[in-house]
Structure 1
Amino acid sequence: MQKLLSVTLIAVLCYLHTTAQVDTTAANADTIQSGRHSYFKARLSYLSNSVYNGRKDSLQVPYLTPTLEYFDKSGLFAKASISYLVSNYAQRIDLYQLEAGYQFELLDNFSGSISGSKPFYNSSSVSVRSQTKGELDADFSWTIAHAVSFNGGAGYIFTPGLGDKFFNTGLSHEFVFGKNKQWSIEPAVTANFSTRNYYEQYKNNRRLKTGKIKKRQDSTVINTGNQTVVVTTTITTLNANKLQLMDSEVSLSAYYDAGKWSFFATPTLAIPTNPATYITNITTSRTLANNTITHDSRSETSTEKIGNVFYMEAGVSYRF
């Protein structure tokens, strides 16, 4: 079943790419990339907390992110960004990210994009996405009767272990106002579905990023002089490969377009669902001074604690 879903996803991505190449030539020249002009965009944004699928770390992970983007008149685009952690416990570059893709508009009311991205997280990052190694995405937006936009997307996330499939769907509507229509707001509701292998990787590695005790992979080594104690902990998430609703989100994006300059702010309320069940296996090995070794194992079952999360992203961009 997993192989079938993966093959289906790849086929959808290929279909979207092929359709875009064939149909964009017949579309109105003014509907793609602002009249088919190539341009750069520099953006600076602030994210109050790194939240994904309604999940966050126990520590706040706020990012200040400069991004350089290039949009070609053909529909191709490329982005590069650096996210600087601006927390009270650490200040460092936490993430580099590269992205490239293709965006298209098939009709006046139907647009979409396909893209691939590669993140490079700091080894000490506690972001819930810190164990992801890459991502493929396909997204679309269909405006119905100039009233409401039906949005959707699907993709695949690469991790050190099993990868994750995801898709999302939602509704939004843009209200434009102002003398020159420079202001707009866009309320939206979104439902995110995903498997959670990435989160299992995050949970297993999260313990290794805190504390002053010497770590060896997933083990804690304690040397007391007359004995060496090795505690190995492994966390397994039940049904981690099951595709299910992870969270619902309500957002209200606001934009101000001043020509080459633009400003935006997007407050979001994430409402997580389906808390995970974890099985933690703990094995303790003791090596005495006379080289006698004893082993002890135990298992613990726990349920993920979830709650509503509010976060915001705001920023400014300059087009040239």
Structure 2
Amino acid sequence: MKLQILKFSLLFLIVFSVNPIFAQDKSETTRSSKNSEASYFSINLSFISDAVYLGRKDSITAPYLNPSIMYHNKSGFYAIGSFSYLTKSDQSRIDLFLGTIGYDFTSKNLSGDFSITKYFFNTDSYNVISEVDAGITASLKYDFNPIYLSASSTYFIDTSSNSDLFLSAEIGHDFVTSTKDFQISPSIGVYFGSQNFYEEYYINNRFGSDRTGSGSGSGSGSGQGTGGTIPTTTTTTVVMQESEKFDLMAIEFSLPIWYINKPFIISFLPVLVIPQNPATLTVDSVIYEEDLETTFYWMAGISYRF
């Protein structure tokens, strides 16, 4: 796996450094530059229609209401605290607390970000990344005008001390009004990674928890993408053949939209994700093939800066 990761890391470095057709949006760079002129607080409220990660999701939708607060220092350092409230009628609860510290910068056409996030999931959570304990993310964006390119890497550590590495690249273009108060940015992204987090999710959620949220451990195993009937009894062994394999995981098409009316920012993000390379699961010596589906989900939010 280490050799595969090194190969893909080298590939992304080459793509990022030699392809002049890719670019980052100028208006986004301008906003980052303005952000660095003074320190500020930001309060945000957003809603996401379903918890989807790289095309992977639970069979039960997980719509979240996400309040958050951020402090951004003019030096580039920032801190974020937030929680996710599961709004599904029969599962209503705070499903996740998280805290992030990070640093961002902008230098002419280049911008970047480095952050560390700690996750605290509810024990009844069926979120596909509910076994993730912490994550480290680094990203770079460059504006070649009119096309932008962004590349990022994320390192996950799950509750069983397993780890995953993800690499992604995105190409897009920003359409901005002359007053710079409205922006729409169609983009396409590709995502590579391993799936230890997903194996842990299957072990502890798909096959090891009650789907009604009581946490009784019934192990019904009903979920997206199994190619046959899952046993209703609690399983003892779950193995995902692709958990250590570093491979293409998803292709995403997104259309971020922003409207700025200071001190408010309103955003809307529709996403179409096409998952790749479905997993092969061995459950108590019985093999199941995932049947991953193309998924559409969306997020809407409003923030107030002061």
The TM-score with structure 1 as length reference comes to 0.79
Q: Cα offset for 1:185?
A: 0.3
Query: 2-side partners of 1:243 and 1:305: how far apart?
Result: 19
Return the letter of the residue paired with 2:47.
Y
Moved over 3 A (4+): 3-6, 28-33, 211-216
Q: Deviations over 1:258-316 (max 9, x none)?
A: 011010000000000101111112xxxxxxxxxxxxxxxxx101111201000000010
Query: 2-side partners of 1:170 and 1:79: how far apart?
Result: 24
Query: 1-side partners of 2:112 and 2:217: how far apart?
Result: 45
* Equivalences for residues 75-114 of structure 1 within 5 A: 75-106=76-107, 108-114=108-114
SS in 2 for 1:32: helix
Q: 1:197 to 1:175 in 2, by over 3 A?
A: same
Which ranges of structure 2 fall in alignment gaps of 5 or more residues?
Answer: 10-28, 220-232
Counterpart contact for 2:42–2:69, Cα < 8 Å: yes
Aligned to 2:48: 47
Query: 2-side partners of 1:34 and 1:94: how far apart?
Result: 31
Q: 1:312 to 1:201 in 2, by over 3 A?
A: same
Q: 1:232 to 1:275 in 2, by over 3 A?
A: closer
Aligned to 1:186: 185
Q: Does 1:278 align with 2:264?
A: no
Return the letter of the residue paired with 2:60.
L
Query: 2-side partners of 1:143 and 1:72: how far apart?
Result: 24
Whose radius of gyration is greater, 1 or 2? 1
Q: Does 1:310 align with 2:289?
A: no
* Equivalences for residues 65-214 of structure 1 within 5 A: 65-106=66-107, 108-144=108-144, 146-159=145-158, 160-177=160-177, 180-206=179-205, 207-210=207-210
- Percent identity over the alignment is 33
Q: Cα offset for 1:5?
A: 5.2
Counterpart contact for 1:169–1:191, Cα < 8 Å: yes
| Higher relative contact order (CA closer than 8 Å, sequence separation 6+) | 2
Q: Cα offset for 1:104?
A: 1.0
Return the letter of the residue paired with 2:180.
K
Aligned residue pairs total 271
Q: 1:308 to 1:232 in 2, by over 3 A?
A: closer
Query: 1-side partners of 2:283 and 2:30: how far apart?
Result: 57
SS in 1 for 2:199: helix
Q: Deviations over 1:101-120 (max 9, x none)?
A: 100123x1110111100110
Q: Deviations over 1:66-125 (max 9, x none)?
A: 01001101100110001000013210000001001100123x111011110011000000
Considering only aligned residues, what root-mean-square deviation do their CA atoms show, in Å? Answer: 2.6
Selected match of 2:269 from 244, 266, 270? 266
Q: Cα offset for 1:240?
A: 1.1
Aligned to 2:252: 249
